[in-house]
């Protein structure tokens, strides 16, 4: 079902050739981030969109990396995983990374948020798996949809 959805939003070949996206990834949980990347790349590949991968140390750095590189890409997919621990650090990281992405989005940056926030590693594995919840693919589809909306209504 998810594969057919990816095909529904595939961009036109003429647009795809000139379109460049970045996956901005926090590989803190390597197994999870690799699955998120796989799901996002499957969607980008189906849409023939050139994609770079930018790696940052943690989820809090993702909005900053997007801000620093925003003029070089048509859209971004933020990918990472935040697992609740014993302290309030989970709340700080999840809220501030989401707020940073939202702030950039309201400034016209096309971002799909694939930073998953979970209670445990089992939830992370299910949500990141391209053959299960496919949150990486979902974030890529969201970013592409926003880019198409921007192209339709904003003539620069």
Pick left, alpha or beta for residue 76 (phi over 0 → left; psi -120 to 50 → alpha; otherwise beta): beta
Whole-angstrom CA distances from 2 to 32, 79, 83, 94, 138 are 19, 18, 25, 26, 9
Per-state percent for the chain, helix, strand, coil, to nearest 5:
55, 20, 25
The pair of three-digit structure tokens given for residue 56, joined into one six-digit string: 């940052």
Q: What are phi and psi of 87, to 5 degrees?
A: -120, 180
- What's the Cα-to-Cα distance from 147 to each of 13, 15, 71, 111, 139, rounded to whole Å? 15, 11, 14, 9, 12
Active site residue 72: no
The active-site residue out of 12, 89, 95, 99 is: 89
Query: For residue 136, what are the CA distances in angstroms to 5, 23, 106?
Result: 14, 10, 21
The residues annotated with a catalytic role in the active site are: 89
């Amino acid at each position: 079902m998810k594969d057919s959805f990816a095909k529904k939003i595939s961009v036109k070949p003429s647009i795809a050739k000139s379109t460049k996206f970045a996956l901005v990834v926090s590989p803190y949980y390597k197994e999870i981030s690799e699955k998120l990347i796989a799901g996002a790349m499957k969607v980008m590949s189906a849409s023939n969109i050139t994609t770079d991968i930018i790696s940052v140390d943690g989820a809090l750095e993702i909005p900053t990396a997007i801000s620093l590189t925003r003029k070089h890409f048509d859209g971004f997919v933020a990918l990472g995983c935040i697992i609740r621990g014993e302290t309030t650090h989970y709340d700080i990281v999840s809220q501030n990374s989401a707020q940073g992405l939202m702030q950039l989005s309201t400034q016209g940056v096309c971002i799909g948020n694939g930073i998953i926030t979970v209670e445990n590693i089992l939830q992370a594995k299910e949500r990141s798996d391209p053959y299960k919840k496919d949150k990486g693919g979902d974030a890529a589809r969201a970013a592409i949809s926003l880019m198409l909306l921007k192209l339709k209504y904003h003539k620069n």
